[in-house]
Amino acid sequence: MVLITLCLSTTLQAKEYDYDPDNGKEINELCSGCHGEFGQGGKDGEYPRLAAQPIEFTMNQLRLFRDRKRKNFAMVEYIDDRQMPENDIYDISRYLYEIKLKTQLPPIDENAPDFDAYARLLESKMTMQIPKAPGDIERGKKLYNKECDSCHGKEGLGDHKKAVPMLSGQYTNYLWKQVEQLRTLERIHDEDSPKEELLNEFSDEDLTDIFAYLSIVDD
Contact residues for ligand HEC, defined by CB under 6 A: 27, 30-31, 33-35, 46-48, 50, 58, 60-62, 72, 74-75, 78, 92, 147-148, 150-152, 162-165, 167, 170, 175, 177-179, 187, 189-190, 198, 202, 207, 210
Q: C-beta of 16: minimal distance to ligand HEC in Å?
A: 19
Q: Which is nearer to ligand HEC, 126 or 172 (CB)?
A: 172
User: What CA–CA distance (Å, rounded) separates 189 from 168?
Assistant: 17
Length of the chain: 219
Residue 71 CB contacts under 8 Å (≥ 6 apart), including other chains: 186
Q: Which is nearer to ligand HEC, 116 or 205 (CB)?
A: 205
Q: C-beta of 114: minimal distance to ligand HEC in Å?
A: 35
Strand partners, 88: none
Q: Which is nearer to ligand HEC, 96 or 126 (CB)?
A: 96
Q: C-beta of 175: minimal distance to ligand HEC in Å?
A: 4
Contact indicator for 95, 54 with CB cutoff of 8 Å: no
User: What CA–CA distance (Å, rounded) separates 156 from 147?
Assistant: 12
User: What CA–CA distance (Å, rounded) separates 206 from 9?
Assistant: 35
Q: C-beta of 116: minimal distance to ligand HEC in Å?
A: 29
User: What CA–CA distance (Å, rounded) separates 32 from 39?
Assistant: 7
Q: Which is nearer to ligand HEC, 7 or 30 (CB)?
A: 30
